[in-house]
Each structure stands twice: as structure tokens, then as C-alpha cells.
Structure 1
Amino acid sequence: MTNSRLINSNDNNRLFRRLALLTVVVVYLLILIGGIVRSTGSGMGCPDWPKCFGSWVPPTEVSQLPPNYQEIYGAKLKGEIEFNAFKTWTEYLNRLFGAFTGLMIFATLVASVSYIKKDRPVFTVSLLTFLLVGFQGWLGSKVVSNELAPWLVTLHMLLAIVIVFFLLYVVARTYVGNIQIEKIGNKTLLNRWLFITIGLSLIQVLIGTQVREAMDVVTERLGNERRTEWIDNLGLSFYVHRSFSILIMILHIGLVYWLKKNIVTKGVLSQLTMVLLIMVGVEIISGVILAYLSVPAIVQPIHLTLATLALGLQFVIGLLINAKVVFTQNSVVKSSPINV
């Protein structure tokens, strides 16, 4: 009977880990889709919220709108509204995927109920994540009602990163006893290096949002026909962002070096840091493409998503390095068959 319960518990834990990990993937896909919305200028494809042009299913052609639709929605958008089916449906699909993401996070919360007794922080953080998603949905409505105010767009993205961090904490906490983590000799040095790397990477992302906001101003002023001039008109924030990327790369190379120098056994951390280094390298390459190939729209969401992926991976690496300190619940640490 005891063995049967243990098997059922292990199966439930495995299912929860997979669900939580899948939810993280879905959130990152939503960030990617959000980047596509921004890069294609589709953020106001639906000028109202939660409906789109007053309907739950948006129109596919202008004939489906009332003749005076520009009067209805144009005042809010400074009279510049022009129906574009591609932009409308791009934004609408973004909203639908956002709703699906909310359902996935709710499913994770429901599944985490089984952890209330055996590992309460899993349930607590899952609940906080769900509440934050509700706030994120409200904030999204304010982004629309305030006509894509830059500071609201930035806040919306930062909150998405916080939600990802919460989910990654849950995933890491439930995986700790099921993966091999290296023993590390000098954690103090490694932690300091990682802390600096995460801090400066976050600053780099914030500078990137300033570049993105400057890009919106430039594109509106110059238009698509002068696309080759966009980069030259971005101002100081772009040059700081571009130069800062060199420091970010050096920090990640140093992270890989210090980890290899201080590990005693083999494990997942070495693999994660190498993936992180490659990811940062690809992100820098995508930045070069944006700068020298007239900001191709397809590369912009990739650049943003890679930045948030890198931050998430840094966060997970930090959690795993300090697993014994961060995950104090005895069901996580004591049940682990490995030294963490």
C-alpha cells in the first residue's frame, strides 16, 4: 500500500513538473508573439479592449465595419486609424494566446494544490503567479486605452519577466531532486559574478526598451520609405545598448570559466551555462543584423525573446547553484538523491 502511494505520488510530481515546464514554454511563446505584434506595428490593431472593433470576433475586411468607424475609433487614435486586417488579427491572436496562457497558469495552480502539505512554497508561488497574470491582463487593457504609452509597454514586459521568474522557481524547485547538480568549490565568487551578470543583463534589457521606444518615434517620423535611416536617428540609447552588449558577452564568458574552474563533479549547471553563452552570442548576432540590415521586422521579436530567455536561464542557474539555501523545504532538499 505504501509503495502504491509512493508510485502515485511520483507520477503526480512528474506530471506537475511537465505541466509547469510546458507553461513556461507557453509564456515565452507569448513573449515572442508580443514581440511580433510590436515589430509589425499591430499593437493598436484592435483599438478597444477586450473586444476588437466592438466585436468578440474581429472583422476581416473594412466592409464589415460601420461606415463611420473612423469617427468611432479615430478620435482615440488621433484620427489616424485605418483598418488593416493583418494588424487587427495579429493583435487579436495575441490576445487569444494570452488567454490560453492564463488558462495554462491556472492549470498549474490547480495542479499545485497537491503540494500544499508536502511542499507549500510550490503552491504559494503558483498562486502568486496566477494573481500576477490577472494584474498583467488588466495592465494590458491600460496599454491599449493609453495608446501604447511607452512606459506602460515597458512595465508590461517587465511584469512578464517577473511572471517567468516565478514559474521558473516552481519548475526548478520540483526538479531539484531529479537532476544531477555539480558540487561547487567557491560559491561566493560564482554568486557575485552571477549577481553582477543578472543585474547588468536586466539593465541591458531596460536600455533595449528605450531603444525600442526611440524606434517607434523614428519610424513614425521617417516612415518605412526611409527605413535605412532609422538606426542613424535613434540617438544615444542605441549606442549605449550596442556597446553594452560587449560587456554582457564578457560577463557570460567569465561565468562559464568560473563555473568550470570551481565545479567538483559533473552535472546540469555546466550544460545550462554553455547554452546560456550560445544564447547570448546569438542574441548579439541578431542585434548586429538589426543594426546593419535596416531593422528587419522578423528579427526584432527574436532579439527580445532571446533576451528574456537569457534572463530566465541566469535565474535558474542561480537557483540551482544555491539550491540548499533557496529550497529549504525538507521534501525538496532531503529527498534529493544528490548533493546540491
Structure 2
Amino acid sequence: MTSSKSRIDSKANRLFRRLALNTVITLYFLIIAGGVVRSTGAGMGCPDWPRCFGSWVPPTEASQLPSNYKELYGAKLKGEVEFNPVKTWIEYVNRLLGAFTGIMIFLTLLASTPFLKSRNKHIFFFSLAAFILVGVQGWLGAKVVSFELLPVVVTLHMLLAIVIVFMLLYLYTWAEYAESSLKLNSDSKKTISRIGLVVMTLSLLQILLGTQVREVMDEVIAKLGYGARSEWIDSLGIKFYIHRSFSIVVFALNIWWIAKIVKSEARESVTVKVAKACLWILIAEIATGIIMAYMGVPPFAQPLHLTFAILLIGLQFVVWLVVNGTKYLKYKESFQIG
């Protein structure tokens, strides 16, 4: 009887872990899609929400639209709406990915329900909170459209995405590494943990600075147009230079933190491996930043730069969690009642 129950419990844990991981991956694809939307200027490719040009499946050519579509949809866009099938479908795919992400998070929530009968009820409530926040994120997405890409709404949309990433990464990390942590003495753990908090804070600040640069870039694009990409960087002003200079501080602190982890006793631990992954992602992020700054902001570099930034802060969070494993990832025999 006990053996049968154990097999059921193990199966439920594996299902939850796989769903949590796949949901995180789906969420990152959604972030990439959002970056593509912004880099191509497709944010208003669908001028209404939740439909697109009044239809659940958007048109592929202007002839499929009413002859007065500019009058119908141009009012809130100051009469500048012009049907572009590429931009329309980029935005539409972004919305589809958003809906699919919501479904994945709902499945993760369902898979977490057995934890209500365990000492780890917080896993269910974290899953529930993530599901609710995805709904809020969808609502914010609608506001991004209705407020015509208002910078503050776009920034809030990004911040909430990071919060959801953190919540899902916590769920996956708990399920995968609850019994794993660096075999360090208490002082070493405290040092690495404290540095990690500073690293994540600076990474978040750098992302926020990046959103400020992107907001200025939107203004520049409105003036110069998409055909003048090579002139965008020179027109960004002081915010761009602050963002660029601050990257040196972020890079240096990350190197220091990663070096401390690698020099720890557990060289082959998951923490060391993820920390090394952080280093390569940091290098890739800086590389895409350099490409944008000196190669005329090519469209492919913008979504990659954003994705690397959020992937980096996500993996930093995983490292920090595992370092503090006994405190935040304590495994209490998931399905044990009492």
C-alpha cells in the first residue's frame, strides 16, 4: 500500500516539475515574441483587443477589410492606421502565445492541487498567484493597446512579466532542487546570498533603465521612421549612455559573484553550472547591446537583448534560491499529511 502511494506521489511530483519547466520555457518564448513586436513596430498591428480588426483570425490583405477600415480604427490612432499584414500577424502570434502561456500556467495550477493535502500548501498558492497574475498581465496587454503604447503601461507590463517569471522559476526550482544546495559553511552561504541579492537588484535596475531607453527610442522612431535605424542611437541622449555605462558595473559584480560560487566546495553542483550559464548569457546580452549600438539597431538584436536580460535575472534567482536551499526550498515530504 505504501509503495503504491509512493509511486503515485512520485508521478505527481514529476508531472508538476515538467509542467512548471515547460511553462517557464513557454513564458520565455512569449517574452521573445513581445520583443519582436516592439523591435518591428508591430505593437499596433492589431488596433483592437481581444479581436484583431474586428475578427478572431486577422486578414492577410487589405481587400479583406471594410473599405472604411481607416475610419473605423484610425480614430484612436490619430488617423495613422495603415494595414500591414506582417505587423498584424506578428502581433496576433504574440497574442496567441499569451493565451497559450495562460493555458500552461492553468495546467501547472491543476498539477499543484495535490500539494493542498501536504505540508507544502504554499506550492499551490504560488501556482494560483501566478495564474491570477497572468490574467492581470493579459489585462495590461489590452491596456497597452488602448493607451497606444503608453510608456508607463509598457514598463508595468514588463515588470509583471519578470514577477511571473520569478514565481514560475521558484516553483520549478523547488520541485527540481528541493534537496540540493551548495555544501558551504554558513558564512560562505550568507556572503554569496547577499552578493546575489545585490546582483539581482542591479540587473533589475539595468532592465528598467533599458525600458527607459526603449521609450526614448519610440520617440526617436516616431520622428525619424524605421528607415533611419542607423541614426537612432545618436538621438537617444543621456539615458542611453547611463544604461551603457551601468552595464560595466553589472558585468563586474556578476563576475565577482560567479567567481565566488565557482571557488566554492561544490564545483560540480547545479549552482556552479547555472552560475556559469549566467556568465555566458551575460556575455551574449552585452554582445547584442554592442551590436545594437554600433550596427544600426538590427531588428533581430532587440528581442534577443531583452530575452537575455530576463533569462539572466531568472537564472540569478535560481542560483540564489539553491544557495539558500534549506531556507526557501525545504522539502517537507510533499504528500505527507499533517
TM-score by length of 2: 0.95
- The amino acid that maps onto 1:256 is I
Structure-1 residue corresponding to 2:257 = 255
Match of 1:242 among 229, 241, 244: 244
Structure-1 residue corresponding to 2:82 = 82
- The amino acid that maps onto 1:105 is I
Return the alpha-carbon distance in structure 2 between the equivalents of residues 244 and 46 of structure 1.
Answer: 36
Return the alpha-carbon distance in structure 2 between the equivalents of residues 100 and 227 of structure 1.
Answer: 33
The Cα of 1:327 is off from its aligned counterpart by 2.9
Q: Superposition pairs for residues 1-16 of structure 1, below 5 Å?
A: 1-16=1-16
Structure-1 residue corresponding to 2:143 = 142
- Preserved CA contact (<8 Å) 1:272 1:313: yes
- Preserved CA contact (<8 Å) 2:37 2:91: yes
Residue 211 of structure 1 pairs with residue 208 of structure 2: no
Structure-2 residue corresponding to 1:299 = 301
Say if 1:47 and 1:23 are closer, same or farther in 2 by CA, change over 3 A.
Answer: same
The Cα of 1:4 is off from its aligned counterpart by 1.7
The Cα of 1:146 is off from its aligned counterpart by 0.5
The Cα of 1:329 is off from its aligned counterpart by 5.3
Could you tell which deviates more after superposition, 239-248 or 220-229? 220-229
Could you tell which deviates more after superposition, 303-312 or 186-195? 186-195
Structure-1 residue corresponding to 2:154 = 153
Q: Superposition pairs for residues 1-340 of structure 1, below 5 Å?
A: 1-118=1-118, 119-177=120-178, 180-185=180-185, 186-263=188-265, 266-328=268-330, 330-331=332-333
The Cα of 1:105 is off from its aligned counterpart by 0.3
- The amino acid that maps onto 1:213 is E
Say if 1:245 and 1:265 are closer, same or farther in 2 by CA, change over 3 A.
Answer: closer
Q: Tell me the secondary structure at the aligned position of residue 331 of structure 1.
A: coil
- Preserved CA contact (<8 Å) 1:231 1:291: yes
The Cα of 1:236 is off from its aligned counterpart by 0.7
The Cα of 1:181 is off from its aligned counterpart by 2.9
Return the alpha-carbon distance in structure 2 between the equivalents of residues 99 and 112 of structure 1.
Answer: 20
The Cα of 1:177 is off from its aligned counterpart by 3.9
Q: Tell me the secondary structure at the aligned position of residue 117 of structure 2.
A: coil
Return the alpha-carbon distance in structure 2 between the equivalents of residues 189 and 131 of structure 1.
Answer: 35
CA deviation digits over 1:115-164, x for unaligned, max 9? 11222111010000001011111111111000010110110011011001
TM-score by length of 1: 0.95
- Preserved CA contact (<8 Å) 1:42 1:88: yes
- Preserved CA contact (<8 Å) 2:182 2:322: no
What stretches of structure 1 move > 4 A for 4+ residues in a row? none
Could you tell which deviates more after superposition, 117-126 or 319-328? 319-328
Say if 1:209 and 1:117 are closer, same or farther in 2 by CA, change over 3 A.
Answer: same
Structure-2 residue corresponding to 1:338 = none
The Cα of 1:223 is off from its aligned counterpart by 1.7
Q: Say what the alpha-carbon RMSD is for the aligned residues.
A: 1.4
The Cα of 1:262 is off from its aligned counterpart by 3.6
Return the alpha-carbon distance in structure 2 between the equivalents of residues 262 and 187 of structure 1.
Answer: 10
User: Which structure 1 residue ranges, 5 or more long, are not aligned?
Assistant: 335-340
Q: Tell me the secondary structure at the aligned position of residue 144 of structure 1.
A: helix
Return the alpha-carbon distance in structure 2 between the equivalents of residues 264 and 100 of structure 1.
Answer: 38
- The amino acid that maps onto 1:271 is K
Q: Tell me the secondary structure at the aligned position of residue 30 of structure 2.
A: helix
Return the alpha-carbon distance in structure 2 between the equivalents of residues 237 and 289 of structure 1.
Answer: 18
CA deviation digits over 1:239-298, x for unaligned, max 9? 111111111111111011111334356411110100001100110001000000000001
- Preserved CA contact (<8 Å) 1:183 1:265: no
Aligned length: 332
Return the alpha-carbon distance in structure 1 between the equivalents of residues 329 and 107 of structure 2.
Answer: 23
User: Which structure 2 residue ranges, 5 or more long, are not aligned?
Assistant: none
CA deviation digits over 1:157-191, x for unaligned, max 9? 1101100101111111111246x432123112111
- Preserved CA contact (<8 Å) 1:182 1:265: no
- The amino acid that maps onto 1:76 is K
- Preserved CA contact (<8 Å) 2:170 2:318: yes
Return the alpha-carbon distance in structure 2 between the equivalents of residues 177 and 255 of structure 1.
Answer: 22
Q: Tell me the secondary structure at the aligned position of residue 333 of structure 2.
A: helix
The Cα of 1:328 is off from its aligned counterpart by 4.3
The Cα of 1:330 is off from its aligned counterpart by 2.3
Return the alpha-carbon distance in structure 2 between the equivalents of residues 155 and 224 of structure 1.
Answer: 25
Return the alpha-carbon distance in structure 1 between the equivalents of residues 194 and 242 of structure 2.
Answer: 24
What percent identity do the matched residue pairs reach? 53
- Preserved CA contact (<8 Å) 1:102 1:133: yes
